[in-house]
Homo-oligomer: A and B are copies of this chain.
Amino acid sequence: MRRQTLLLLLLLVAAPALRAQSNTSNARAGIDALNRKLEDATRRMDNDATIALWSDDGVSLLPGTPPIRGKAAIRAFVDGVTRSMPAAHMKSFEMHCFDIISSGDWGSEWCTEHQVVDFGAARAPFDGWGKMLFVLHRAADGEWRIQTEMWNQALPDSTGTH
């Protein structure tokens, strides 16, 4: 009886620590998967795929723009951008992320991005660099999504590694 009790106690004490360790590596894989999906959706300018990566109550913080709160408002914003540039085609999009951390169902990372957008013959391509800071949340379905995003301009060739 005493041995069984001791074993049970040890299991009870050790279980949260083992679960936390497993959650951390799962979290890293889940956040990496989110980043690949975000890169892919942005490259294809696929607004449905992009919006699926957001939390329902997500907030997008863009320069010179009021905070955009909630999935419906973010959807309306990205659809507006796409509509205003019907000839736009994402020629290349690259994203590098740093300092990925997670604690329970919350995480964060900051990333640099470089995009080249073609507009056909009528207009010169757009070649832009940016930095992003993300707060991430793992939803009930186990998928990591964007809870809060902020963007600002980066210097060309800034990979965040210098």
**A residues lining the B interface (CB < 8 Å):** 5, 8-9, 12-13, 16, 59, 61-67, 98-99, 101, 103-106, 108, 110, 112, 131, 133, 135, 148, 150-155, 158, 160, 162
Give A90 to B65 CA distance when docked, in angstroms. 25
Inter-subunit contact B108/A61 (CB<8 Å): no
Q: Nearest CB to that of A58 among chain B residues?
A: B99
| A2 → B minimal CB distance (Å) | 9
Closest chain B residue to A133 by CB distance?
B150
Complex CA gap A56/B103 in Å reads 19
Counting every copy of the chain, the complex holds 2
- Please judge, given known A-B contacts A106-B101, A110-B61, whether A66 and B152 are in contact too, CB under 8 Å: no
Separation of A146 and B116 alpha carbons in the complex (Å):
33
A13 to chain B, nearest CB (A): 7
Extra 17 A-B pairs, beta carbons < 8 Å, given A9-B9, A16-B16, A63-B63: A61-B131, A61-B152, A65-B155, A67-B98, A67-B110, A67-B112, A67-B131, A67-B158, A99-B148, A101-B106, A101-B135, A103-B105, A108-B135, A133-B148, A133-B150, A150-B152, A152-B152
Contacts of A9 on B, CB cut-off 8 Å? 8-9, 12
Q: Please indicate the chain B residues that have their CB under 8 angstroms from the CB of A108 in the complex.
A: 106, 108, 135, 148
